[in-house]
């Protein structure tokens, strides 16, 4: 075989050149589709290690929301005597905990995701957006388990499901959008300032009381309703209650619209901020 024939038959290796973006930052969201198998792998890995070496395993997905529901019922139901619109207090608050637990877990996981995956970041190339995205998606399994408990509670309290439950997948996506948007900001900031890891639990706890989890948004003064709706979880939680229990306030439609707009703003701004900081992750982590 001649040298010419040998050169033509030798497989050529594809070379990938990585350059920092210049000017206006491109999100390159198409890369997420190219690395979809990695997203699936990291998501499944997070699910498998979530309850590894625990005695109760996946039972914690049931225990956590029930304990939180009991605490909220004691504070807002027994002590504060907050109105639930005729809906039994436990199911009223458990319904709100469904999106909240999904949001808070996704927020906590994504906020710390860059540091917990520092080994991957410093060794191989892949779109860094894959890490917080997979951290957010891993919480869907726990949500599914908690949702089954919710169905059992509805049977116990004789609450009839309506066709409104068909919008539930959209509400789940909206919850994940809010969590991913905030998580992108926090995960990037956590690389720069490790204080974010200490602030995150306090911020999540404060956010819980600023959201209509233990109470209805109808208890907020009318002149503060629009300001209150700027919390993107307000519309999500109230929409969950409407979809599951048929409980709706007069301002529900406006709350959902405002919350959806705020969620998209947070997501888009978080994407650009994350991509801008992405070039420094490997050096600072």
Q: pLDDT category, 24, cuts 50, 70, 90?
A: very low
pLDDT of residue 85: 77
Better-scored residue on pLDDT, 254 or 5: 254
pLDDT of residue 62: 81
pLDDT of residue 82: 84
Residue 50 · residue 108 · CB < 8 Å: no
Q: pLDDT category, 279, cuts 50, 70, 90?
A: confident
Specify the residue for token string 């209509």: 212
6 pLDDT more than 60: no
Q: What is the pTM of this model?
A: 0.83
Strands (E), the chain: none
| Least reliable range by pLDDT among 7-21, 45-59, 196-210, 246-260 | 7-21
pLDDT of residue 181: 92
| Least reliable range by pLDDT among 112-121, 181-190, 232-241 | 112-121
Q: pLDDT category, 177, cuts 50, 70, 90?
A: very high
- Mean pLDDT on 46-62: 73
- Mean pLDDT on 219-227: 86
- Mean pLDDT on 72-101: 87
pLDDT of residue 19: 55
Q: pLDDT category, 206, cuts 50, 70, 90?
A: very high
Which tokens is 145 given? 């388990």
155 pLDDT more than 70: yes
pLDDT tens, position by position, 26-41: 666 777 888 888 888 8
Q: pLDDT category, 250, cuts 50, 70, 90?
A: low
pLDDT of residue 194: 84
pLDDT of residue 3: 46
What is the b/e burial string over 4-17, where b = at least 16 CB atoms within 10 angstroms of the residue's CB?
eeeeeeeeeeeeee
**pLDDT winner (highest mean) among 65-69, 101-105, 117-121:** 101-105
pLDDT of residue 164: 83
Upper half-sphere CA count for residue 31 (Cβ side, 13 Å):
12
Residues 6 or more apart whose CB falls under 8 angstroms from that of 171 comprise 99, 236, 239, 240, 243
């Amino acid at each position: 075989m001649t040298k010419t024939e040998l050169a033509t038959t030798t497989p050529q290796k594809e070379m990938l050149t990585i350059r920092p973006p210049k000017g206006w930052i491109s999100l390159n969201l198409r890369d997420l589709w190219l690395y979809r198998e990695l997203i699936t792998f990291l998501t499944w890995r997070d699910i498998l290690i979530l309850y590894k070496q625990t005695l109760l395993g996946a039972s914690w997905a049931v225990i956590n929301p029930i304990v939180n529901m009991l605490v909220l019922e004691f504070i807002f139901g027994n002590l504060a005597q907050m109105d639930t619109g005729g809906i039994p207090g436990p199911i009223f608050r458990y319904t709100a905990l469904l999106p909240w637990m999904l949001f808070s877990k996704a927020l906590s996981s994504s906020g710390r995701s860059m540091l917990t995956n520092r080994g991957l970041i410093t060794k191989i190339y892949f779109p860094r957006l894959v890490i917080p995205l997979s951290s957010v998606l891993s919480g869907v399994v726990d949500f599914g388990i908690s949702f089954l408990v919710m169905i059992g509670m509805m049977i116990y309290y004789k609450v009839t499901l309506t066709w409104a439950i068909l919008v539930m997948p959209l509400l789940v996506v909206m919850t994940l959008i809010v969590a991913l948007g905030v998580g992108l900001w926090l995960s990037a900031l956590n690389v720069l300032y490790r204080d974010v890891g200490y602030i995150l639990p306090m911020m999540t706890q404060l956010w819980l009381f600023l959201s209509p989890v233990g109470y209805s948004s109808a208890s907020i003064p009318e002149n503060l309703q629009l300001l209150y709706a700027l919390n993107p979880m307000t519309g999500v939680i109230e929409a969950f209650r409407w979809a599951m229990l048929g409980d709706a306030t007069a301002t529900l439609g406006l709350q959902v619209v405002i919350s959806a707009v705020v969620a998209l703003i947070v997501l888009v701004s978080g994407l650009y901020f994350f991509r801008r900081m992405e070039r420094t992750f490997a050096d600072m982590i």
